[in-house]
Amino acid sequence: MVQSSKFEVQSSMFPTIHKWASFIRFSHTVFALPFALAAMAVAARENRGWPGSRIFGLILAAMLCARTCAMAFNRIVDRKFDALNPRTAKRHLPTKQISLVSAVTLCVLSGDGLVVVSFFLNPLCFYLSPLALATICFYSVTKRFTDYTHLFLGLALGLAPVGAWLAGRGSQILGLEVLQRLVLAAAVVL
């Protein structure tokens, strides 16, 4: 029987965490977060910009799940193109550092995670979560038929503040607020 020390187990975890974080570009998730958090704060202006710990945590979880699903989906659908491109040939799927089954599992679990988190936010977020997933994943296939891929990427990023606003306000949204969120989303797109 082979025994591993606690240090050996912990030190072997860090490369694995780093591998998965670089696969989904966790740093890009952190970059997208301020858009959502700013919208959350404005939506909670009646409470001095704080929607409460529960809503805040759920918004963070929703962002993490959505972004993870979108990046995993992007890596999966682009794996063959990545293998042919010298700039991307050393990515995780072409080099088999991560198996396709593992990547698909991560994509499905994080997509399911967004739907579950949305359920705990409010009914409107829950019902719109499949549409959000379709939109953020659709960006990855636009590269095959348009030169305006970044417009679709902007649209996917623009959903973050809209989603955070809806998470904070639920269905208690006034007509003017819809227009304000659309302007904010358009600003993110551009």
Give the burial class of 60: count Cβ atoms within 10 A of its Cβ; 0-12 exposed, 13-18 middle, 19 or more buried. Answer: middle
127: part of which helix (H) or strand (E)?
helix 123-142
Give the burial class of 62: count Cβ atoms within 10 A of its Cβ; 0-12 exposed, 13-18 middle, 19 or more buried. Answer: buried
Give the burial class of 119: count Cβ atoms within 10 A of its Cβ; 0-12 exposed, 13-18 middle, 19 or more buried. Answer: middle
Tell me what pLDDT residue 69 has. 95
Mean pLDDT, consecutive 10-residue stretches, the chain (190 aa), reads 52 76 77 83 80 92 93 93 89 90 95 97 95 94 91 88 86 74 81
Amino acid identity at 186 = A
Place of tokens 């974080």: 21
Amino acid identity at 112 = D
pTM of the model: 0.84
Tell me what pLDDT residue 9 has. 46
Tell me what pLDDT residue 175 has. 72
Q: How many CB atoms lie within 10 A of CB 99?
A: 11
Tell me what pLDDT residue 8 has. 53
Tell me what pLDDT residue 87 has. 92
Tell me what pLDDT residue 11 has. 57
Tell me what pLDDT residue 23 has. 80
